[in-house]
Amino acid sequence: MSEIATAIDPKKRLAELEPIARTLEPDGAARSALASAVFQHTERFLEELPDARCYIGEHDRGAKVHAFEVTEQGNDIEALLTLLNEGVHHSGLNPASAGHVAYIPGGGLYPSSLGDMIAAVTNHYAGMFYPSPGAVRIENQMVRWMADLVGYPASSRGDLTSGGSVANLTAIFTAREARGLRARDVGKAVIYRTEQAHHCVAKAIRIAGLAECVQRTVPMDDRFRMDAGALEAQVARDREAGLRPFLVVASAGTTDTGAIDPLGAIADIAESTGMWFHVDAAYGGFFLLAAEVRDKLVELRRADSVVLDPHKGLFLPYGSGALLVRDGEALRDAHTAHGAYLRDMPADQDWFSPANHSPELTRPFRGLRMWLPLHLFGIAPFRAAVSEKIWLARYFHEEVAKVEGIEVGPEPDLSVVTFRARGDDPALDNELNNRLVADMHRDGRIFVSSTTIDGVLWIRLAALCFRTHKEHVDLLIEMIRDGLDRVSGGGDDAPGH
């Protein structure tokens, strides 16, 4: 390497570089060995899953993984898989676990991982129709399937996103474009939502440059649903004041309690005032598959845009959200752009291309992780699984109410149930519930989360992991009973104190 650049013979340098660069392409035998090591690793994970704790709070804060640095020469696969096993799989939350009933779970269907593998190995370009019409057709078909589920017309379009937050952001940006809102209009434009709207909506409003809109928090009824009468009155007052009602964001299944806002009444108000009506159905949307609750969700079809989260109610691994927009052209108009380097793309194919319905250009072939399980299993087991979650929530609601010292929240609309411990002194109840949650987290077999509503701490069960069945709910009830015995005997005796 001491020669000056011009003195180097290109052939000689290439001969040096090529064999090293070629190590990026293992041969068939090496590929099989890698794949089989990874397969054994994931099999072991799945075999241990039923008995593994869902939550492991005592850990090294990822120190092992953190200390393991990238090197010039690399490592063998066994060492890396061992590190994953020791440094990743057994600390914190295991979202694949049947015991995950915290936040909003989903699970992660196995065939999706194989779909991801096919997508990654083939590396199809799913952003545009022309380089990969087949891949784009698969993406389009998944969007269409969800649009049909929601009851949207043929002119609707959508996008497979990385998650619900990005889908909500894309929806709110589309609303802004569709209503022709310009920077100078922002101060007079009004956005309506309730306190129970997911926090990603507030984030999306900021990212979309709408933070300076007038933002109204609409009152809710005693079941945390938007009060449509209050919305109507507020909209009327705002119009009288010369403001411009622009966007109403409703929830179909709030994260805290699973509440469904009165979609039909909100649609009426939005229609009569020209507001964009967006529904965040990231949690609740796929309950459209369940005959038990379908009626509560049919008015979703009246929304201008709807967000669904296939990595929740369709049980896909993380990385799958979806946006549907009733007026498909609004979505496309908001996201179509042209670059000189894209001049080979035939314009009549714009309609198909995900890149024209999304902030992304190059993106993973996301459709395959949804297409493979849907076509492999058919829809029937998905219907059964979401219905099962509804019945699990109803069953839990009934059974946990029988536990001495437990108060339950309302009958679940979908599959979230809230409950809390009640002690002798109401002023100490939040502390009692904090201790109960901590006790259950130390146990870790079933993992619950908690929330505060109007200053009151509630513990939640959110049944949505496809692996969660009656036995897990029974175990949770047993843990609540035992935990309550431990923590209500007086705080100082509680384990860990």
Q: Which residues bind ligand PLP (CB under 6 A)?
A: 104, 163-165, 198, 200, 251, 255, 280, 282-283, 309, 321
Q: Which is nearer to ligand PLP, 282 or 457 (CB)?
A: 282
Which residue, 91 or 257, has its beta carbon nearer to ligand PLP?
A: 257
Cβ of residue 319: shortest distance to ligand PLP, in angstroms?
A: 9
Q: What pairs with residue 193 in β-bridges?
A: 217
- Of the pair 313, 483, the CB lying nearest ligand PLP is at 313
Q: State which residue, 234 or 255, has the beta carbon closest to ligand PLP.
A: 255
- Find all residues with CB under 8 Å of 25, minimum gap 6, and list them: none
Q: In what order do the strands lie in the sheet with 157-161?
A: 157-161, 321-325, 305-308, 276-281, 244-251, 189-193, 214-217
Ranked by CB distance to ligand PLP, the top (closest) residue is: 164
Closest distance between ligand PLP and the C-beta of residue 224, in Å? 12
Residue 314 or 406: the one with the smaller Cβ distance to ligand PLP is: 314
Tell me the closest approach of the beta carbon of residue 460 to ligand PLP, in angstroms. Answer: 12
Nearest-approach distance from CB 320 to ligand PLP, in angstroms:
8
Distance of closest approach, residue 83 Cβ to ligand PLP, in angstroms? 27
The residue (of 140 and 255) whose beta carbon lies closer to ligand PLP is 255
- Give the Cα separation of 302 and 304 in Å (integer): 7
User: Tokens 């929740």 belong to which residue?
Assistant: 312
Residue closer to ligand PLP (CB basis): 104 or 457: 104
Residue whose CB is less far from ligand PLP, 87 or 409? 409
Compute the least distance from the CB of residue 103 to ligand PLP, in Å: 8
Nearer to ligand PLP, 103 or 129 (CB): 103
Which residue in this structure is represented by tokens 């999706």? 112
Q: How far is the CB of 201 from ligand PLP (least distance, A)?
A: 7
Give the Cβ contact number of residue 418 at 10 Å.
25
- Residue among 165 and 174 whose Cβ is closer to ligand PLP: 165
* Residue 278 beta carbon to ligand PLP: minimum distance, rounded to whole angstroms: 11
Work out how close the CB of 462 gets to ligand PLP at its nearest, in angstroms, rounded to a whole number: 9
Choice between 305 and 488, CB closer to ligand PLP: 305
Whether residue 331 contacts residue 357, with contact meaning beta carbons closer than 8 Å, is answered with: yes
Which tokens is 484 given?
A: 């309550």
Shortest gap between Cβ of 283 and ligand PLP (angstroms)? 4
Using CA atoms, how far residue 54 sits from 199, 332, 395, 413, 434, in Å, is 25, 42, 21, 26, 19
- Could you tell me the smallest distance in angstroms from the CB atom of residue 176 to ligand PLP? 19
